[in-house]
Amino acid sequence: MEAVFTKYDIEMPFIRLNGLILAVLLCLLSASSAAVEMASDMQLKAFLITTRTLSCDFKQVSIDERGNPVKTSYGKFYLQKPGRFRWDYLRPFKQEIVSNGTKVWFYDADLEQVTVKKLDQGIGATPAMLLSGEMSLDRNFIVEKQGTDEGMQWVRLRPKDKNSSFKYILIGMDGKTIGGMELSDNFGQLTRIYFSDVKKNYPIDQAKFQFTAPPDVDVFEE
């Protein structure tokens, strides 16, 4: 049986963990061809180079230390280079993370609370450096091909910096598109994400990357 989490249990982990996940996606999708030369999987390389926009459904699963799923969330993800994204959690709790390329809004509908951060603060120092172009995957990560699992081809990225906020990232390719992702962070959390109905390089309504706080919601800006 899955553990029961209240809306209060996930406030800070929600901001910290999902900021990191978004940072990883942005870093990968912002990579140049030179940055991914070390990845032997040609499907991954082609995907990273050619992706300008991305939209998909997702299933996010938190895993405990025994390898058992303890929490599952579902929602929709949108991304547009550079720096714009929207991560909508639809169930079990409604939450939103929205970036216009400068600021990131973390909105929890149940808590009636919005936290606003600058983009580099919202996604973490090391990923922010990658996003800005000051770091590249080949110089800062050990890239290892992992073979096939769950019908996907996997590549592991291990940060060379021992002070990184995560231990490793696994990227799974389902044919020519991204199908899955696993992130192990230094807070002891293991998260798996499965992507479906992936649409690449389709126009996205720019209103999705804007956020206006609802009335009577507490707003905290850092």
Domains, the chain, with CATH or none: 7-221 (2.50.20.10)
Alpha carbons 123 and 128: distance in angstroms, whole number:
6
Q: Which among 88, 79, 90 has a CA at the least distance from the CA of 23?
A: 79
pLDDT at 23: 61
Pairing of strands 113-118, 218-221: parallel
**Which pairs with CB-CB distance under 8 Å and at least 24 residues apart come from 97-101?**
97/18, 97/19, 97/22, 98/208, 98/209, 98/210, 98/211, 99/22, 99/209, 100/209, 100/210, 100/211, 101/209
The alpha carbons of the chain give a radius of gyration, in whole angstroms, of: 17
Q: How far is CA 191 from CA 42, 101, 115, in A?
A: 25, 25, 22
Alpha carbons 166 and 221: distance in angstroms, whole number:
25
pLDDT at 86: 87
Quote the pTM value: 0.76
17 and 185 Cβ atoms separated by less than 8 Å = yes
Q: How far is CA 216 from CA 93, 111, 199, 211, in A?
A: 19, 11, 35, 15
pLDDT averaged per 10 residues in sequence order, the chain, 222 residues: 36 51 63 45 69 88 83 89 84 88 88 85 42 51 81 84 79 85 81 91 93 90 80
